[in-house]
Amino acid sequence: MIGRHRHLIGLEGLSREELLQVLDLAASMKEVLSRPVKKVPSLRGKTVVNLFFESSTRTRSSFEIAAKVLSADAVNWTSSGSSVSKGETLLDTARNLEAMRPDVLVVRHAASGAPNLLARHVGCAVVSAGDGAHEHPTQGLLDCFTLRERLGTLEGRTVAIVGDISHSRVARSDLHAMTRLGAQVRLCGPPTMIPMGVEALGATVHHELRSAVEGADAVVMLRIQHERIGDPLIPNTREYSKYWGLNARKAAEWLKPSAVVLHPGPINRGVELSSDVADGPHSVILDQVQNGVAVRMAVLYLLAGGAPEGARAEKA
């Protein structure tokens, strides 16, 4: 249980206390990763199934390592080469997996809402590993964890999120969690990539990179997806990079010296981020990857740890 929640579908519904519960626990989990024996027995006998309908090496491996460090058994299902490519429906796949009695189902799907649908039909805990343009909750948590580690707190800090906000599940999870934790969020990108009315979620909108990143404590550079390029949203990568990409010259002129730069990966080097920034002093990108394992350990521990019946009885 994360606070009142049996599943982790998104960060939108989580309270400040619930977010901090996961982030504080993740700090203890990170310490486990630095031990000589990187394994604790807390989820012995539990099974975590990774159900990935979209390819993702980083997120899947991160969940797999997190499960294994906690001594859970991790089973990976990818859509290619499975019964999905033979035409099985999402619910049938899930019901079949459920018959194998997993404790946690980690789902990545191209359709927004797929994890939510599964949560309503299976008995085990469901964790979203990213669904369509909806949310990527563990990415949002690991970004917040990394910022807390670097900035001490998110309260009163300014975070700029730059890129294709409309299609980014990372932007949405970051926005929900960061504003809930007290940060000011600035969204920046080409007008074609900023959803109408997004200010209602508590963010300010910028169309120029400079005004978005100047004075910010952190900058999250989103990945520009190749399929959007050449599409009317942006004409080409050169133009995108010129106006919304971050390079060392812009970073030196506009960023606070202490500002940190995040990226959810994989990076399009030279498009949204130049190599001298990705590998430079502002970058905390590799910290994010390590923190991702700690955050996912915390999520798996909270959702697989307690007995669901007991927890329900207590709440009743």
Partner 1 sequence: MNAEAVGRAVRRIAREVLERAKAAGAEQSLAFVGIRRGGVHLAERLRDEIGRAVGAVPPMGTLDIALYRDDLSQRGVAPVVGPTDIRFKLEGRVVVLADDVLYTGRTVRAALDELVDFGRPRQVWLAVLVDRGGRELPIAADFAGARLEVPEDEDVQVRWQEEGAAEDAVVVHARRKP
C-alpha dist (Å) from residue 276 to 242, 251, 284: 15, 10, 13
Provide the token pair at 218.
Answer: 């952190």
Which residues, at least 6 apart from 197, have a Cβ–Cβ distance to it below 8 Å?
none
Closest distance of CB 45 from partner 1, Å: 8
Residue placing its CB nearer to partner 1 in the complex, 152 or 232: 152
Q: Is 123 among the residues that bind partner 1 (CB under 8 A)? A: no
Asked if residues 126 and 119 have their Cβ atoms less than 8 Å apart, the reply is yes
Q: Which stretch binds partner 1 (CB under 8 A): 36-44, 104-112, 122-130, 263-271?
A: 36-44
- Distance between start and end Cα atoms, the chain: 14
Q: Is 35 among the residues that bind partner 1 (CB under 8 A)? A: yes
Provide the token pair at 194.
Answer: 């900023």
Residue placing its CB nearer to partner 1 in the complex, 103 or 272: 103
Angle 226-9-161 (CA atoms, 0-180°, nearest 5)? 45
Query: Could you say which of 42, 76, 116, 247 contacts partner 1 (CB under 8 A)?
Result: 42
SS3 state of residue 98:
helix
Which residue do the tokens 């400040």 mark?
16
User: Which residues, in sequence order, are bridge partners of residue 184?
Assistant: 158
Query: Could you say which of 132, 195, 270, 306 contacts partner 1 (CB under 8 A)?
Result: 306
Asked if residues 149 and 291 have their Cβ atoms less than 8 Å apart, the reply is yes
Number of residues that bind partner 1 (CB under 8 A): 27
Q: Is 101 among the residues that bind partner 1 (CB under 8 A)? A: no
Residue placing its CB nearer to partner 1 in the complex, 125 or 218: 125
SS3 state of residue 173:
helix
Which residues, at least 6 apart from 125, have a Cβ–Cβ distance to it below 8 Å?
6, 7, 8, 103, 104, 105, 303, 304, 308
Residue placing its CB nearer to partner 1 in the complex, 21 or 179: 21
Query: Could you say which of 22, 23, 25, 178 contacts partner 1 (CB under 8 A)?
Result: 25
Closest distance of CB 182 from partner 1, Å: 23
Binding mask 67-96 for partner 1 (x = CB under 8 A): ---x--------------------------
Query: Could you say which of 13, 32, 115, 195 contacts partner 1 (CB under 8 A)?
Result: 32
Q: Is 45 among the residues that bind partner 1 (CB under 8 A)? A: yes
Closest distance of CB 25 from partner 1, Å: 6
Residues near partner 1 (CB under 8 A) are: 1, 25, 27-29, 31-32, 35-37, 39-43, 45-46, 70, 301-302, 305-307, 310-311, 313-314
